[in-house]
Amino acid sequence: MGNFLKDRKSKFDLLKALRLQKKETYMQREVPSRLFSQCSGCNRTFPLKEKEDNQYICPYCGGYFPMPAEQRAKSILESGYEKIIFEDKTRNPLVFDGYEEKQETMRQKTALDEGVLCFRGKIGDSPTVLCVMDSRFFMGSMGSEVGERITFAFELATEEKCPVVVFCASGGARMQEGMYSLMQMAKTSAAAKRHSDSGQLFISCLTHPTTGGVTASFASLGDIILSEPKALIGFAGPRVIAQTMGKKLPDEFQKAEFLLEKGFVDHIVERKDMKQTLSFLLKLHRKEELV
């Protein structure tokens, strides 16, 4: 009996050692970001090119990385699209200390001039104005320049009688611009309303994270609202809400799947299927297709 228990204990010890060894293999490590990427979900490391070739999706666990605006546009639009060039402006309406220097640092670090890029092109056969927010630039926060660009995109689409597709990714209003930033909520919402009144389609695509003033304005005004899986979508963060209410929130609170269940999102679309889904929806709503 003693030998049996001793043998059983040694097997359990071996199993425990193997489990610890496996965990140690995938511990989070410092990796050179120009060569490799590490998934925050499974902690596995793989070449950066592999991530780029796989639409910024982890090849092991399927977790999503934030997708740069240029790559997003390239994956959605047909070849021959046009990037809309805006006048290079450094806005600092409140003369916020260090803000201009921070903007310049972000430009050099990300090769972006602002937190949103706008394009004119085709998705499938449908002429479309596309806006893509990029969370690498001030967490995609909406300042006066971001608001101006999104407003311009809606006005251009209204003039050209074509749909608007916006990929949202934002931490909310840009705090360095104070009230000027909050004013963009009304400005972009009004532009979206005029576009809607002209009879054109607006599809809002929510990606991780979409929060704050962007969620509370144009991002929630789409005729059709799509989302990537497991995206965080909300106004205030879950921690703030839990502290205010004094209650424990559901585990999936503010996740795309939770919002789909509650009716705030129309459909959750895998990144690899997004272009095909958008192409189908745009074609379905083209007036000439109904004749």
| Backbone CA torsion sign across 76, 78, 80, 84 | negative
Give the mean pLDDT of 131-135.
Answer: 98
Residues 76 and 48 in one domain: no
Does 259 fall in a domain?
A: yes
Nearest CA to 271 out of 61, 57, 46 is that of: 57
Tens digits of residue pLDDT in 175-194: 999 999 999 999 999 999 99
Residues 125 and 50 in one domain: no
Nearest CA to 212 out of 236, 195, 229, 188 is that of: 236
pLDDT at position 1 over 70: no
Residues 105 and 56 in one domain: no
| Confidence class for position 15, pLDDT limits 50, 70, 90 | low
Dist CA 129 CA 264 (whole Å): 24
Amino acid occupying residue 17 = A
In this structure, the number of other CB atoms found within 10 A of the CB of residue 105 comes to 11
| Confidence class for position 13, pLDDT limits 50, 70, 90 | confident
Residues 192 and 213 in one domain: yes
Q: What is the pLDDT of residue 99?
A: 96
In this structure, the number of other CB atoms found within 10 A of the CB of residue 107 comes to 15
Residues 185 and 276 in one domain: yes
Does 143 fall in a domain?
A: yes
pLDDT at position 290 over 90: no
State which of 65, 82, 112 marks the end of a domain: 65
Tens digits of residue pLDDT in 232-283: 999 988 888 999 989 888 888 999 999 999 999 999 999 999 999 999 999 9
Does 18 fall in a domain?
A: no
Query: In CATH, what number is assigned to the domain containing residue 196?
Result: 3.90.226.10
Residues 217 and 86 in one domain: yes
Q: Cα angle at 67 between 66 and 73, to 5 degrees?
A: 155
Residues 61 and 73 in one domain: no
Does 29 fall in a domain?
A: no
Domain extent, residue 84, equals 67-285
Does 11 fall in a domain?
A: no
pTM comes to 0.86
Dist CA 237 CA 73 (whole Å): 28
Mean pLDDT of the chain: 91
Residues 60 and 120 in one domain: no
Range with the poorest average pLDDT among 14-18, 42-46, 137-141, 222-226: 14-18
Residues 59 and 73 in one domain: no
Does 25 fall in a domain?
A: no
State which of 21, 43, 65 marks the end of a domain: 65
* Total domains in the fold of the chain: 2
Binding-site positions for Zn(2+): 39, 42, 58, 61
Residues 281 and 249 in one domain: yes
Residues 75 and 60 in one domain: no
State which of 26, 47, 65 marks the end of a domain: 65
Per-residue b/e over 2-40, b at no fewer than 16 CB within 10 Å? eeeeeeeeeeeeeeeeeeeeeeeeeeeeeeeeeeebbbe
Residues 84 and 116 in one domain: yes
Does 20 fall in a domain?
A: no
Binding-site positions: 39, 42, 58, 61
| Confidence class for position 18, pLDDT limits 50, 70, 90 | low
